[in-house]
A = this chain, B = another copy of it.
Amino acid sequence: MSLPISHPEPKSLAEQGGRKPVSIPAPEGTAVQTVSIALGERSYPIAIGAGLLAMPGSFAGLPSASSVVVVTNSTVEPLHGAALRAGLAGRYAKVHWVVLPDGEEYKTSATLNLIFDALLSNACDRNTLLFALGGGVVGDMTGFAAACYMRGVPFVQVPTTLLAQVDSSVGGKTGINHPLGKNMIGAFHQPLLVVCDLASLDTLPARELSAGLAEVIKYGPIHDMGFMEWLEAHMDALRARDRDALAHAVRRCCEIKAEVVAQDERESGLRAILNFGHTFGHAMEAGMGYGVWLHGEGVGAGMLMAAELSRRLGLVDAAFCARLRVLVQRAGLPVRAPVLDERDNAGRYLEWMRVDKKSQAGEIRFVLIDGPGKAVVRSAPDALVREVIDACCAPA
């Protein structure tokens, strides 16, 4: 089973009169699933299947480009570079590669400048097409570079981690960290196409698979308790990297995210629910220093803190919190949050959370569970938040 190899007469974006939706050839009998993100002229497909990187058909619908730049990192390039080279072979005259250092601690303006340096020193023009081959950090930085280079060039997401496939590669959020806060500098810039190759998950370290499962789990409590039940039944299969289970999880997460993003592309309301667990999680990441915990680990422990805060506000019961805790634990994620400050731990958490992008006039806005399967964004009294932090943090 493979995608058909077709090379339509390529046209540049400008020649086509601007951006047009990319179509994925997916004839009967292939193992490719497609989810569409409906955003008018910024609509695009997500292709999900095993072995897609190496198949030229995966990229057949893309516009032509005078040059192509693949941005990846030093861990991913040796694992998946050859496959993408095969997938792009013969299609573009010039393919430049930019290999960044690996890790959240490199999601900085200094690393971003390495991408700009490469684009300019290779005389890349406005029709240049960028590919992000890697996890969330590579995707966020490549997307932001594409948003800013010459005020915007097109890009393609090729996520190779579970976290990126189910969350960060979809929806157009791009950006970098600032020493004072995560993802503080960025842009909304939608990709032309997302290609999720399930085979790339084979080489993912177990710790990163677990981190990705945190973003998978979040879709249950905020939107779909049926999916949460499915996860409870298939968590072992997912951790064993069963292809069918992974395909279902990736597809269902993308469907939910597509639905939310189509309603609220620029996060003026609804979209914020996708940040369930992230307000506490970002504080952990920034407070410990980027790269100590993986993003998904912060989200895992953060979801339990947000659920506990929901419980103390009377929105969910203890049974729901316990059930979520079991699932997070079975995913191989931490269930106790780290102590950020021996003297005033809760104060330090509050300080970091106040610079969260959802904060308004210094008031922290939490994504809470308003009954299983439904999320709400609201504030909470500091005293109550302190109790939750004290209850959920690991003993010093």
| A residues lining the B interface (CB < 8 Å) | 12, 14, 17-18, 66, 109, 113, 116-117, 120-121, 123, 125-127, 147-152, 173, 175, 178, 180-181, 184-188, 266-268, 354-355, 357, 359-362
Which residue in B127, B357, B359, B361 is a CB contact (below 8 Å) of A361?
B127
Find out whether the CB atom of B186 lies under 8 angstroms from the CB atom of A151.
Answer: yes
A125 contacts B175, CB within 8 Å? no
Is the CB–CB distance between B18 and A152 below 8 Å? no
The distance in angstroms between the C-alpha atoms of A29 and B180, with both chains bound, is 49
Q: Are A150 and B180 within 8 A (Cβ)?
A: no
Number of copies: 2
A173 contacts across to B, CB distance below 8 A:
151
Q: Is the CB of B125 within 8 A of A181?
A: no
The 5 nearest A-B residue pairs measured at CB: A66-B361, A120-B180, A150-B357, A151-B186, A148-B185
Min Cβ gap A273→B in Å is: 16
Among B116, B123, B185, the residue within 8 A (CB) of A362 is B123
Query: How far is B267's CA from A121's CA once the two chains are assembled, in angstroms?
Result: 23
B360 engages A125 (CB within 8 Å): yes
- Are A149 and B184 touching (Cβ within 8 A)? yes
In the bound complex, residues from chain B placing their C-beta under 8 Å from that of A181 are 120
- Shortest beta-carbon distance from A191 to chain B in Å: 16
The chain B residue with its CB closest to the CB of A150 is B357
Q: In chain B, what residue has the closest Cβ to A360?
A: B125
Whether B149 pairs with A185 at a CB distance below 8 angstroms is yes
**Out of B18, B266, B359, B361, which one reaches A268, CB within 8 Å?**
B18
CB distance from A199 to the nearest CB of B (A): 32
* A385 nearest CB across to chain B (Å): 17
Partner of A185, one of B116, B188, B359: B116
**Smallest CB gap from A173: residue in B:** B151
Contact residues in B for A148 (Cβ distance below 8 Å): 148, 175, 185-187
Residues of B within 8 A of A354 (CB): 123
- With a cutoff of 8 Å between Cβ atoms, the chain B residues found around residue A149 in the complex are 184-185
In the complex, A121→B187 CA distance in Å?
20
CB-defined contacts of A175 to chain B, threshold 8 Å: 148, 151
Could you show 11 A-B contacts with beta carbons less than 8 Å apart?
A: A14-B268, A14-B360, A116-B178, A116-B185, A117-B180, A125-B362, A127-B360, A148-B187, A149-B184, A149-B185, A152-B266
* Residues of B close to A150: CB separation below 8 A: 184, 186, 357
CB contacts (< 8 Å) of A178 on chain B: these are 116-117, 120
Known contacts A109-B113, A266-B152; A357 and B126 CB within 8 A of each other: yes
